[in-house]
């Protein structure tokens, strides 16, 4: 019995330290998950199993997934109507432009320019009703097809020589030509007689210097050609489109003899002066003039 006390007494002395270590181990295990179980107690043989290393603490549980938020409402598509200011109009590219400018088509019906290149308009403008207009045509061009705002007709063709209404003699063995100033001219003798009347052709020629026909020894007025003489078909005489020849200083304008010094026929057949201009002799020829501007 005494021997048993001697054995138990030292063990009791060691017990508080062992318990303290055990508490520390269990607290560490709690912090990191469940610790591994300790080794087997000594069997008194002196050999003892090594205690298993502390187990890896359990991984913290996955947090609950957050609730999915409701889908947002549909946002604006960005195509909200564009509002233009007064005096502007909306074009296809969603831009607002001044509706009183000819480069934007005038008015509200279109954004296309009033005139394209090659329209020969002197200066595009917008009229008081919001429509395209112009301040005149470029030199050598005029409106002949009905639309007063388009200068589509060249005035240097035999069909429209100097004006919409004047044409050079047609049906000739060769065509007349028309100068930029609106004068019908021959360039070869064949232009001075009709293709179907040639009895007098041998007596017909062309003065290429001034573009006038010569019938025998007589030089015709501008715009005239030659026809057979009544007394001798072999002879040629001047005619204004089948009628009598024109007098001095006159020009044959589509069958009518005119002096080209009026506001209606100024320097060319049918060439009319615009408002504010007057037909005036300028540098040897009649032109439409106005104070402070160039004559045309």
Token pair for 17: 């330290």
Mean pLDDT, residues 167-191: 92
* CB-CB contact of 54 with 25 (8 Å): yes
Closest CA to 105 of 78, 80, 84, 124: 124
Contacts 24+ apart (CB under 8 A), 134-137: 136/274
* CB-CB contact of 33 with 55 (8 Å): yes
The pLDDT value recorded for residue 201 is: 95
Cα(189)–Cα(198) distance, integer angstroms = 12
Query: Which band of pLDDT confidence, cut at 50, 70 and 90, is reported for residue 79?
Result: low
Closest CA to 261 of 279, 275, 239, 243: 279
Query: How open is the CA angle 247-253-258, to the nearest 5 degrees?
Result: 45
With residue 242 as reference, give the H or E element that holds it: none
Cα(236)–Cα(193) distance, integer angstroms = 9
Cα(264)–Cα(244) distance, integer angstroms = 23
The pLDDT value recorded for residue 39 is: 41
116 three-state secondary structure: coil
Mean pLDDT, residues 92-101: 86
Closest CA to 257 of 281, 272, 239: 239
Cα(50)–Cα(125) distance, integer angstroms = 108
What secondary structure letter does DSSP report for 28? Answer: H
Task: Give the percent of the chain with pLDDT over 70.
Answer: 72
Note the pTM of the prediction, 2 decimals: 0.60
Mean pLDDT, residues 56-62: 43
Q: Among the ranges 40-54, 107-121, 222-236, which has the highest mean pLDDT value?
A: 222-236
| Torsion angle defined by CA atoms of residues 267, 269, 271 and 277, in that order, rounded to the nearest 10 degrees | 40
Closest CA to 147 of 129, 134, 161: 134
Counting Cβ atoms within 10 Å, is residue 94 exposed (0-12), middle (13-18) or buried (19+)?
exposed
Length of the chain: 296
The pLDDT value recorded for residue 46 is: 39
């Amino acid at each position: 019995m005494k021997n048993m006390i001697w054995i138990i007494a030292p063990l009791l002395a060691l017990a508080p330290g062992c318990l303290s270590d055990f508490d520390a181990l269990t607290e560490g295990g709690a912090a990191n998950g469940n610790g591994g179980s300790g080794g087997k107690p000594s069997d008194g043989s002196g050999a003892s199993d090594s205690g298993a290393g502390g187990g890896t603490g359990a991984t913290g549980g996955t947090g609950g997934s957050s609730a999915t938020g409701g889908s947002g409402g549909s946002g604006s598509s960005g195509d909200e109507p564009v509002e233009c200011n007064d005096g502007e109009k909306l074009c296809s590219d969603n831009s607002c432009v001044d509706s009183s400018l000819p480069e934007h088509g005038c008015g509200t019906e279109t954004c296309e320019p009033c005139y394209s290149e090659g329209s020969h308009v002197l200066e595009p403008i917008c009229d008081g009703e919001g429509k395209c207009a112009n301040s005149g045509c470029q030199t050598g061009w005029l409106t002949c097809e009905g639309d007063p705002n388009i200068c589509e007709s060249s005035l240097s063709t035999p069909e429209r020589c100097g004006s919409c209404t004047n044409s050079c003699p047609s049906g000739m063995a060769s065509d007349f030509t028309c100068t930029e100033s609106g004068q019908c001219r021959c360039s070869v003798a064949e232009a001075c007689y009709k293709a179907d009347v040639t009895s007098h052709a041998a007596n017909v020629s062309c003065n290429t210097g001034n573009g006038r026909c010569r019938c025998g020894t007589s030089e015709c007025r501008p715009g005239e050609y030659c026809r057979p003489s009544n007394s001798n078909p072999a002879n040629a005489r001047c005619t204004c489109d089948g009628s009598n020849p024109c007098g001095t200083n006159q020009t044959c304008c589509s069958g009518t003899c005119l002096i080209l010094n009026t506001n209606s026929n100024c320097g060319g057949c049918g060439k009319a002066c615009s408002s504010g201009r007057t037909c005036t002799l300028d540098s040897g020829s009649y032109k439409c003039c106005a104070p402070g501007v160039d004559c045309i």
